[in-house]
Amino acid sequence: MPPGRGAVLLVGPSLLRNGTEPTLPELPVEGLAPAPAGEVFLACAGVPGAPEDFPVVSHGARLAARALPGAEVLARIVAPYFPRSRDRFCGHSYTPPADPTDEAAVVVGDGVAAVTVSLLEAFHEHGLETYRQLLGAALDRLLPDPLVRAGGPVHLETTVVRTATSTVVHLISFLPSREAPELDLVHDAFPLVDVPVAIRLADAPRSVRLQPAGREPAWEHDGEYVHVRVTTTDGHAMVVVEHD
């Protein structure tokens, strides 16, 4: 992505303006059009954690599209052997996947990612981990040098506050539980143990402190990021980096 430019991730219907015209001229796909209804599968490539030899079912509506030359395809559409119907019954919810097609599902170009399937809605409704991994891989391509990287559990939330002389990274680790039909409750903190945190900073900092504990953890600077490891049982910690 050229310096000074933003990045855009477009998912599902947001790829088309008024349902007919591409939303942006820089989209990494062509031939956008509503696809026929019915279950299909996603074959992933280059997506950390997602198996490449086992297509995952794609829930919901989608758009048909082909990737432009030079664009990176993270997932392709795989059709079932035949559509499930009354006269062609399969004992599961859908028939098994056949071979991958030329139809692209997740494509990343120069500062723009196109997701032709409704991954956000599908993840909300079905919670398939591959959907989250696909979206994460697309975001990693769009933002290869993020302001902060943090390991730890999936539920970990990070917030960055930067001033002229300091950068503060808040780490929030509370795991909600569904105890009512439409209500998630939070009771206890979830410990963070030796969680790696990398904060983008061009020059070496003057100091690094872990607050509110007031500790000075070991850290290193590689010329681009400050690296530190965080352990806390309180559910909230702040990495405070003082710099010029």
Domain residue extents for the chain: 8-142, 148-242
Question: What pLDDT is stored for residue 16 in this prediction?
Answer: 94
What digits encode the pLDDT tens for the residues 58-117?
A: 988 999 999 999 999 999 999 987 776 666 665 666 777 888 899 999 999 999 999 999
Cα–Cα distance, 57 to 55 (Å, whole number): 7
CB 29 within 8 A of CB 114: yes
Q: Is 131 helix (H, G, I), strand (E, B) or coil?
A: helix
Confidence (pTM)? 0.87
The answer to whether the beta carbons of residues 231 and 193 sit under 8 Å apart is yes
Higher local confidence (pLDDT), 37 or 150: 150
Q: Tell me the CATH number of domain 148-242, given options 3.40.50.300, 3.90.1150.10, 2.60.40.1180, 1.10.1370.30.
A: 2.60.40.1180
